Amino acid sequence: MTVRRPPVDPALPGRRLGRVGLILVQLFVVLLFAVLGVRLWYLQVPMADHYRDLAVSNHHQRLVVPATRGQILDSAGRPLVSNRTDLVVSADYHALQGMDDGGEEVLGRLAEVLDVPVEDLRQRMRLCGPTVQRPCWPGSPYQPVTLADDVEPSVALQIMESADDYPGITAQAQAVREYPQGTHAGQILGYLQPVTQEELDAREELRTRFTGVDQVGRDGLERVYDTELRGTPGLRTLGVNNHGEVMDVISDEPPVAGMHLVTHLDLGVQKVAEKALADGIAAQPNADSGAAVVLDVTNGGVVAMASLPTYDPSVWRGGIDQETFDEMLSEEAGEPLVSRAYQGHYPPGSTFKVSSLSAAAENGYSLRSTYACPGSVTLAGQSYQNYAGGGHGSLSLHQAIVVSCNTIFYNFGYQMWQQDGGLHPEGEPDEAMANMARGYGFGSPTGIDLPFESGGRIPDREWKRTFWEQTREVNCRRAEEGYPEVAETNPGHASYLKRLAHEHCVQGFEWRAGEAVNFAIGQGDVLVSPLQLARAYAAIANGGTLYEPRVGRALVAADGSTVQEIEPSVAGELPVSDETLRYLQKALTAVPKEGTARGAFGDFPQDRVSVAGKTGSADQQNKETSAWFASYAPADDPQFAIAVFVHQGGTGGAAAAPIAREIYEAIYGFSGGSKPALPGGEPRDELPVVRSDGSIDVLER
């Protein structure tokens, strides 16, 4: 091989010129790569932390692992709310999206086996957003998307066994709320609803612990004890790739199951209370609703609390439709969401006389004197009758309670009103009646561990003035302009209304004799709830201690490891002397034996369990008389207080007392040889035991 090198012509400028050019090009290349080097330095040294943060948010996916919600148990450990396991078919959102056909084929096959239109599944697979109509998936795409719940085991099995035919689809058990007792205690238990965006926003620090499918207690115990029942969801941090596929588990914080709530409620007593109330309402032609409350007088525990009409809390499960929801709030349906027991307030009638008697006794009226009980009294130019219109001659206060004499209390109300200066009080009025009522816990919320309680109303001069100030403008305008719209059809009524408006406008602030007189027998503007009344009688029974009623008794860890008792909370003491209290107790004890409730308790074994109580028959404008019975037993060693209210039920002795009697019979086992609902006729003092494996030992009856 021969190399022939052509001679170099020194005239050729190429080499020299080329050299200079080449050196320039070399420098240019170095410059180019230096630019890259500077940029690389900028990204990797000063900016490294910034990009590391971005990298973490890129590939770390935090997944909330829900905690099992605690059960709600009665005092014996029987479940009132538990969790049911449903077979749920769900899909891995990313797995289906990643398929060539977007999961179409799998969904088609699934629709066949589930026997639903494939379009339905397609809609459920969409992520909810501002422009997406329901049904859609409200949760995170990293959680399994629920396509069908409560599927047949055979269908679930088919899907599980032929997993290859259903890639990305799982059939698994999932917990949903169950109400093993049906409608019993529904209003107390409350319900769950999906967490709203507002709630998520409000719980900024907890946001990572919520996902779109989280449920939050909306009412009742589920709401009040929501945090404890919910437990702590686990947090699993997953490493994901660009398709959202899980690569590895970076950290795993397991969930802590919610605590079980043991209540003071006794399922047996609750059932009897509801049934007796329903029967009692059905027995009265005009009765439409009612409530019955059973309290443990020693600690304020709510042993039973019934309110009718009620509803089945399971309607909330799986999302309620608008129609059912509207119906449940409607007046025609009797507003079953409202618990009459603690959210309803009504004039208490004669049951209120315990407060009026206390006010009189603490303000100079002797318990040893007798007082005239005529058939009617005329006070400040107006006549006031006894209930049946009959007179009883001269009575002790004991007798006044037993026969429920109104006229004696009318006089008390009128005289105390006069002592305060009547229409024109000088200085600060004593308001002895109203203050005693407040001392009994009326007029303000009891503080029960249930939501949305209001306080009722105890009217007095101050309330009247406030009310007048709020309504004066309207009344004064009406006093000027009259009621032309009423005058068209009924000129007489219109002129009456106009006079009334004028009176309210000019004198509406006055606390008048008639109002004070009616107040004394629990009529007029006085409004109390059955729960407030039961608590007041419980206080009389236990020697004067006013408790905050408690439904919850203890919170027990799901594995039984910790027991957190909910201690009774004292709201106050009755502002009544021991002498007055004993006097009242004796009088109340006589009522079911020889007084207004003797009919209802005629053959009740009072020698075994003596019942103390007071009837009430309250009138409300344009309505039938409502029946009350407030009581406690045993009279010599009080354990339970029961208040019963039947709206438009008639007299307390006829309509309300029999219901209370039925409840007592069930508690003590007096009805036809049945076992007592509560062993020994006493509230249980031990708690049901939750074992470490999560099982619950129900206490023997």
Partner 1 sequence: MSTHMGVPSRGAGLLRTATGAAGRARRLDWTLITATAALCAVGSLLVWSATLPGDGGSPWASTDHLRRHLLHTAVAWAFCLAVASVDHRTVRAYAPLVYLATVVALLLVLTPLGAVINGSRGWIVVGGFQFQPSELAKVGLVLMLASMLGEPRDGETKPMTRDVLFCLALLAAPLALVMLQPDLGTGLVLGAIFLGMLTLSGAPVVWVAGMLASGVAAGFCVWWFDLLEPYQLDRITTLIDPSADPQGAGYNSAQALIAVGSGGFDGTGLFQGEQTHGRFVPEQHTDFIFTVAGEELGFVGAGTILVLFTLIVWRILRIAQGCDQPYPRLLCVGVAAWFAFQAFINIGMGLGIMPVTGLPLPFVSYGGTAIVANLLALGLVLGVNSRDRGFE
- The interface with partner 1 within residues 57-116 (CB under 8 A) comprises 58-59
In terms of C-beta density within 10 A (0-12 exposed, 13-18 middle, 19 or more buried), how is residue 152 classed? Answer: exposed
In terms of C-beta density within 10 A (0-12 exposed, 13-18 middle, 19 or more buried), how is residue 607 classed? Answer: exposed
| Residue 95 vs 116, nearer CB to partner 1 | 95
Residue with tokens 């206390």: 358
Backbone CA torsion sign across 317, 323, 326, 327: negative
In the list 32, 132, 320, 388, the residue contacting partner 1 (rule: CB under 8 A) is 32
Does residue 10 bind partner 1 (CB under 8 A)? no
Residue 406 carries which DSSP code? S
Specify the stretch interacting with partner 1 by CB under 8 A; choose among 40-48, 131-139, 300-308, 627-635.
40-48
Pairing of strands 260-263, 72-73: parallel
Does residue 474 bind partner 1 (CB under 8 A)? no
* Angle (CA) 683 294 459, round 5°: 140
Minimum Å gap between C-beta 210 and partner 1 is 26
- The interface with partner 1 within residues 241-260 (CB under 8 A) comprises 241-243, 247-248
Provide the Cα torsion 99, 104, 110, 116; round to 10°: 150
In the list 45, 131, 153, 673, the residue contacting partner 1 (rule: CB under 8 A) is 45
Does residue 701 bind partner 1 (CB under 8 A)? no
| Residue 98 vs 334, nearer CB to partner 1 | 98
| Residue 15 vs 675, nearer CB to partner 1 | 15
How far apart (Å, rounded) are the C-alpha atoms in residues 198 and 283? 46
| Residue 27 vs 474, nearer CB to partner 1 | 27
Specify the stretch interacting with partner 1 by CB under 8 A; choose among 28-36, 371-379, 460-468, 671-679.
28-36
The span from the first CA to the last CA of the chain, in angstroms, equals 115
Minimum Å gap between C-beta 10 and partner 1 is 11
| Residue 45 vs 285, nearer CB to partner 1 | 45
Amino acid (1-letter code) at residue 563: V
Minimum Å gap between C-beta 247 and partner 1 is 6
Does residue 41 bind partner 1 (CB under 8 A)? yes
| Residue 44 vs 330, nearer CB to partner 1 | 44
Specify the stretch interacting with partner 1 by CB under 8 A; choose among 29-37, 284-292, 404-412, 682-690.
29-37
SS3 256: strand
Number of residues forming the site for partner 1 (CB under 8 A): 50
Does residue 368 bind partner 1 (CB under 8 A)? no
Specify the stretch interacting with partner 1 by CB under 8 A; choose among 12-20, 101-109, 416-424, 555-563.
12-20
Pairing of strands 215-217, 192-194: antiparallel
- DSSP for 6-58 reads PPP-TT--HHHHHHHHHHHHHHHHHHHHHHHHHHHHHHHTTTHHHHHHHHHHH
Backbone CA torsion sign across 591, 592, 595, 596: positive
Specify the stretch interacting with partner 1 by CB under 8 A; choose among 18-26, 69-77, 205-213, 289-297.
18-26
Minimum Å gap between C-beta 64 and partner 1 is 21
Does residue 15 bind partner 1 (CB under 8 A)? yes
Q: How far, rounded to the nearest angstrom, does the alpha carbon of residue 616 sit from its chain's CA centroid?
A: 28
Does residue 275 bind partner 1 (CB under 8 A)? no
The number of helix segments (H) and strand segments (E) in the chain equals 24, 25
Beta bridge partners of 295: 302, 641
Minimum Å gap between C-beta 244 and partner 1 is 10
**Tokens at 147, concatenated:** 């396509």
Does residue 321 bind partner 1 (CB under 8 A)? no
**Residue 50 — left, alpha, or beta (φ > 0 → left; ψ -120 to 50 → alpha)?**
alpha
Minimum Å gap between C-beta 59 and partner 1 is 4
| Residue 30 vs 65, nearer CB to partner 1 | 30
Does residue 36 bind partner 1 (CB under 8 A)? yes
How far apart (Å, rounded) are the C-alpha atoms in residues 512 and 502? 16
Q: How far, rounded to the nearest angstrom, does the alpha carbon of residue 11 sit from its chain's CA centroid?
A: 106
Minimum Å gap between C-beta 26 and partner 1 is 5
Backbone CA torsion sign across 663, 668, 672, 677: positive
> What stretch of H or E contains 271?
helix 267-283
Specify the stretch interacting with partner 1 by CB under 8 A; choose among 1-9, 468-476, 549-557, 626-634.
1-9
Per-residue interface string for the shown chain with partner 1, residues 200-239, x marking contact by CB under 8 A: ---------------------------------------x
In the list 8, 321, 368, 700, the residue contacting partner 1 (rule: CB under 8 A) is 8
Nearest to 114 by CA among 131, 135, 137, 90: 90
| Residue 32 vs 206, nearer CB to partner 1 | 32
Minimum Å gap between C-beta 100 and partner 1 is 17
Radius of gyration of the chain (CA): 37
Does residue 51 bind partner 1 (CB under 8 A)? yes
Residues at the interface with partner 1 (CB under 8 A):
1-3, 5-9, 11-15, 17-19, 21-23, 25-26, 29-30, 32-33, 35-37, 39-41, 43-45, 47-48, 50-52, 54-55, 58-59, 239-243, 247-248
